[in-house]
Structure 1
């Protein structure tokens, strides 16, 4: 067969056949004495297979590997990847059709209606308070957030704001909008402004008000068998407390504080955030921004203030502790690690000031820094598995890493080293006995 006959048999163009030759999908056949290519049945079968695979969505490189029998690129592996890609495209098309259905359900679709289905559902719940111009501006701001935010952040925000769609919450929102309209041009010193801000904060969902506090961390503290549930003593230079165990013996708990070094920095940050909140309020008023988006921005600033305050409080109330059971390292509610007493080999003072992260896991070493500093090193007899936090500000964990050395910071490193050394001595005595 000549090239035209081969192309007609496989249902492709002669240009496609030449392109397949150039890409290595179809080998060059022998030529006649006149220079024309001479194709056989095997070439027709290979070309038909190539056409079927490309119709499935495989690239020419993948088709070439499959037809060549490349063991590194099995056909099943390629087809599974293709199926996953098609599933992603199918999901994306389904989401687009859902958004189109929302727009088509309206008598007069508008460009602002082209938000995600989740945001569209939330905005429909707020229709009863959309008569106010401030409510309309609020809806426009939410539409902007729907476009700018990542899907997971948007879904988390909507889930947090879901309690604001109940009939009681909508009635409160309508009253807030009326009061906002009354205070549109009011003086910042007007006492009604402070009262309205307090009512607006109370209108926020309870979960938003609880996120920054350390109460959840105290509630989730694990209880060890035989040890009564109680609060850890406040962190000072190194306080020691005792309580009764199940067998009647006195268990000594040594609290090792670590927040003193970061307190001045975080207090200064807190002052700057409060100052920024006040300055932002004055600036937004000067430019005539409507009250609803202005208060939303102020609420976000206030959440930052509460976040910093929550870290300060939780670090002060959750010190490192040394007990006969071992050493427990913490950083507020963000991190906790238990090291059994029998694994502690030694402890010494070793000051470092170059830590780049709050938590570092590298080369078999864990560093838990405060203000980029560590001053104590604990060597372990055996490695322990430490989960890697996916993000330094969450408790979500990823893969584990083996650690043989631990660095951390203490306000009084000498007292902390004495407490850990006593723990090591007690463990060695028990082993000898």
Structure 2
């Protein structure tokens, strides 16, 4: 027979933890001996090992208490369910670990290879590093929140930028970043952008995500917040398209 301290030490828990298990009804308290000490036997060690193992697996204490009265078959079935839950948690943790490693490497989210190649094209075509970084962040947002629409939207924009005349509009948009919001060049750029949009999509069907999504507004607000000139361009384009 052993003391509570020896029991805790053998199993690898604290005496306080053993007492909590007593209070919760998980581990019966043995009677005290003539000296007033509680003494524990081999069965108590085995029971405590089972309790500790289940608790470490994330099983709530109330559930562990219920399992004490389960039949052998019920107990085995419960263990299988717990094992399946652990497998799911491990899979989730590995996915989280992968995201952390990508974050540490400066890669917030994986983008399709074709998007990476497109971003390289932007730099080659004369877009500023600021614009390229902004486009990367926005595509990460779109692919993360609307994976079902993101590829089609990306192909649409890539096709637009493959056209030198349309690409010129985007380049002018990029380089308007530092212009004063009242610069007359902004009005001309907004008019050209609106005309190109109507010519490509028609008057009634403009590209974008579903109307219930808040992402388009978030994307545009992110762009507008970068530059007063960009914000005015957006306002003027909307006015032209109404």
Question: Would you call these one fold, judging by a TM-score over 0.5?
Answer: yes
Q: How far 1:35 sits from its partner (Å)?
A: 2.4
Higher helix share: 2
* Aligned-partner Cα distance in 2 for 1:296–1:142: 23
Within 5 Å, which residues of 2 pair with 1:148-297?
A: 151-153=144-146, 155-164=147-156, 166=158, 169-170=161-162, 172=164, 174-180=167-173, 181=175, 185-186=183-184, 190=188, 193-200=190-197, 209=206, 288-290=228-230, 294-295=233-234
Q: Is the 8 A contact 1:164 1:170 kept in 2?
A: no
- Which residue pairs with 2:88 in the alignment? 84
The alignment's C-alpha RMSD in Å is: 4.4
Alignment deviations for residues 280-304 of structure 1 (CA, whole Å, 9 cap, x no partner): xxxx7xx73337x9549957x96xx
* Aligned-partner Cα distance in 2 for 1:296–1:118: 30
Corresponding pairs, count: 211
Alignment deviations for residues 263-289 of structure 1 (CA, whole Å, 9 cap, x no partner): xxxxxxxxxxxxxxxxxxxxx7xx733
Going from structure 1 to structure 2, the CA distance change for 1:59 and 1:127 (only over 3 Å counts) comes to same
* Aligned-partner Cα distance in 2 for 1:188–1:26: 76
Is 1:136 matched with 2:134?
A: no
Alignment deviations for residues 372-405 of structure 1 (CA, whole Å, 9 cap, x no partner): xxxxxxxxxxxxxxxxxxxxxxxxxxxxxxxxxx
Within 5 Å, which residues of 2 pair with 1:27-426?
A: 27-69=28-70, 74-100=78-104, 103=105, 113-118=106-111, 122=115, 125-130=118-123, 131-133=126-128, 136-137=130-131, 139-140=133-134, 143=137, 146=140, 151-153=144-146, 155-164=147-156, 166=158, 169-170=161-162, 172=164, 174-180=167-173, 181=175, 185-186=183-184, 190=188, 193-200=190-197, 209=206, 288-290=228-230, 294-295=233-234
Q: How far 1:18 sits from its partner (Å)?
A: 1.9
* Aligned-partner Cα distance in 2 for 1:13–1:199: 72
Structure 1 unaligned residues grouped into runs of 5+:
104-112, 213-283, 306-433
Q: Is the 8 A contact 1:54 1:60 kept in 2?
A: yes
* Aligned-partner Cα distance in 2 for 1:60–1:49: 12
* Aligned-partner Cα distance in 2 for 1:44–1:297: 76
Q: How far 1:146 sits from its partner (Å)?
A: 4.4
TM-score where L is the length of structure 1: 0.39
Structure 2 unaligned residues grouped into runs of 5+:
210-223
Alignment deviations for residues 17-72 of structure 1 (CA, whole Å, 9 cap, x no partner): 22222333212122223321121221111011122223334333333333342869
- Which residue pairs with 1:384 in the alignment? none
* Aligned-partner Cα distance in 1 for 2:207–2:158: 20
Going from structure 1 to structure 2, the CA distance change for 1:203 and 1:126 (only over 3 Å counts) comes to farther
Alignment deviations for residues 105-145 of structure 1 (CA, whole Å, 9 cap, x no partner): xxxxxxxx553212897355223324434x72474266267
SS at match of 2:229: coil
* Aligned-partner Cα distance in 2 for 1:175–1:9: 75
Alignment deviations for residues 326-364 of structure 1 (CA, whole Å, 9 cap, x no partner): xxxxxxxxxxxxxxxxxxxxxxxxxxxxxxxxxxxxxxx
* Aligned-partner Cα distance in 2 for 1:197–1:290: 14
